[in-house]
Amino acid sequence: MNHLVLVLSGILLGVVSTLPDSAQAEERRAWFKSLKQPDTGYSCCDISDCRRTDANWRQGQWWAVVSGEWTPIPPEKELDKRSIDGDAYVCSSPTRRIYCFIKPTLAM
């Protein structure tokens, strides 16, 4: 019984330690809300419109997975802002209209 309690305690501690605290969550929300479309100055929307994505450079431009499909990113949609966590993000509509693209940090 003691062994089971120790194992369950360890699992619970691991799960709790991986949860973002409210300060981190608020920082992420604020970062996404700060994003502006480079060609219009309008908001890229917010965290609900932006998704972490796979991206690579090919044929002289960025490509990213948008709603499940590799899509060329229009240069006017690329932001100069650094990624909050190093990953690429695309902010788009459900119809795959791209509002903003954040390059992966290693690419900058």
Q: Which three-class secondary structure state does DSSP give residue 18?
A: helix
Asked if residues 49 and 92 have their Cβ atoms less than 8 Å apart, the reply is: yes
pLDDT given for residue 40 in this prediction: 87
| Residue 99, φ and ψ in degrees, nearest 5 | -95, -45
pLDDT given for residue 69 in this prediction: 95
pLDDT given for residue 52 in this prediction: 94
pLDDT given for residue 8 in this prediction: 42
Asked if residues 42 and 63 have their Cβ atoms less than 8 Å apart, the reply is: no
Q: Which three-class secondary structure state does DSSP give residue 7?
A: helix
- HEC string of 60-108 equals CEEEEEECCEEEECCHHHEECCCCCCCCEEEEECCCCCEEEEECCHHHC
pLDDT given for residue 12 in this prediction: 42
Residues of the chain with pLDDT under 50: 4-19, 107-108
